[in-house]
């Protein structure tokens, strides 16, 4: 698919191939369309990408077709293996033009990101690892935290596009974005764990969890996780914004990265054990990661 010559005003309007239009990717692609970019979409499940044509996206039959002629190729898929498959098995790297930029917004390991950057650089293609935080709400509202790793000139060229999705910050060279995302996910997972414990403590003692959250607003213990996921916990609403299976994958990557740096992360290791129970023993992989509260409640019931 030849998308034509590049726009003269490449800083404001670009041709973007967006690969992976699931829970996060679909609203992100819509925000790029709202910003005035030409967006070509592809998804493994065709219907998810096809739905975006109503918003003005072009539908590609393959990821390589989407990438051909694009200024930027953005991916947000399940893991590093899926990213490598798109790049090197499904020929996205071969289809990209020299001087184009590959922006991987998936959550993968820092080493995988560095490997992809090296292989693409050999083909004259720039690379940013730019994972995100903020869940589906952040994707829809274009308020995602975007943690980017890569060369500064490449980041500056991609920044105007990324600003249509949220707040991009370059945190270092290739792999640094993924390292920051792992650190982010460690904070998220451990905080969800303690919010679940605090919620159970208040409920079990006869307190009103909604009033409890309100009482803590603006205080030192307040957080987005307390307010949003605390409400999910007390209401039993675990419709996925961020899946528990993905949280477990991130925790596995966190522990592996820490091990490679000769670090021990006891809180992360403890909460990983609980997510393993939720995903592998309770079958809760497709539930929101706030469902760790359900795992905690069942554990307490088993002990009583």
Distance of alpha carbon 287 from alpha carbon 109, whole angstroms: 23
Show Cβ contacts of residue 15 under 8 Å, excluding neighbours closer than 6 positions: 3, 4, 6, 7, 37, 38, 40, 69, 70, 71, 72
- Sign of the CA dihedral with 31 first, then 36, 42, and 47 last: positive
- Catalytically active residues are 181
**What separation in angstroms does the CA of 265 have from each of 66, 186, 245, 295?**
41, 9, 20, 22
Here the contacts of 270-273 (C-beta below 8 Å, separation 24 or greater) are: 270/193, 271/189, 271/190, 271/192, 271/193, 272/189, 272/248
């Amino acid at each position: 698919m030849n998308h034509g010559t590049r726009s003269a005003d490449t800083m404001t309007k670009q041709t973007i191939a967006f690969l992976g239009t699931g829970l996060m990717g679909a609203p992100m692609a819509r925000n790029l369309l709202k910003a005035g970019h030409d967006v070509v979409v592809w998804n493994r499940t065709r219907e998810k990408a096809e739905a975006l044509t109503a918003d003005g996206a072009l539908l590609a039959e393959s990821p390589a077709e989407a990438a051909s002629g694009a200024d930027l190729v953005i991916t947000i898929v399940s893991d590093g293996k899926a990213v490598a498959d798109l790049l090197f098995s499904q020929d996205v790297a071969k289809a990209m033009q020299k001087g184009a930029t590959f922006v991987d917004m998936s959550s993968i390991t820092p080493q995988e990101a560095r490997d992809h950057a090296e292989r693409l650089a050999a083909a004259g293609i720039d690379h940013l690892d730019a994972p995100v935080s903020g869940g589906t709400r952040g994707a829809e509202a274009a308020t995602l935290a975007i943690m980017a790793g890569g060369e500064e000139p490449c980041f500056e060229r991609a920044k105007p596009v990324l600003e249509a999705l949220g707040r991009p910050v370059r945190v270092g060279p290739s792999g640094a974005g993924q390292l920051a995302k792992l650190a982010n996910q460690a904070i998220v997972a451990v905080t969800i764990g303690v919010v679940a414990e605090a919620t159970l403590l208040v409920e079990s003692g006869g307190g009103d969890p909604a009033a409890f959250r309100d009482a803590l607003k603006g205080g030192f213990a307040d957080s987005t996780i307390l307010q949003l996921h605390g409400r999910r916990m007390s209401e039993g609403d675990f419709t996925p914004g961020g899946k528990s299976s993905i949280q477990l994958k991130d925790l596995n990557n966190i522990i592996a990265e820490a091990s490679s740096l000769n670090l021990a992360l006891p809180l992360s290791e403890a909460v990983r054990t609980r997510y393993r129970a939720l995903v592998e023993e309770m079958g809760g992989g497709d539930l929101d990661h706030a469902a760790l509260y359900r795992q905690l409640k069942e554990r307490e019931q088993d002990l009583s």
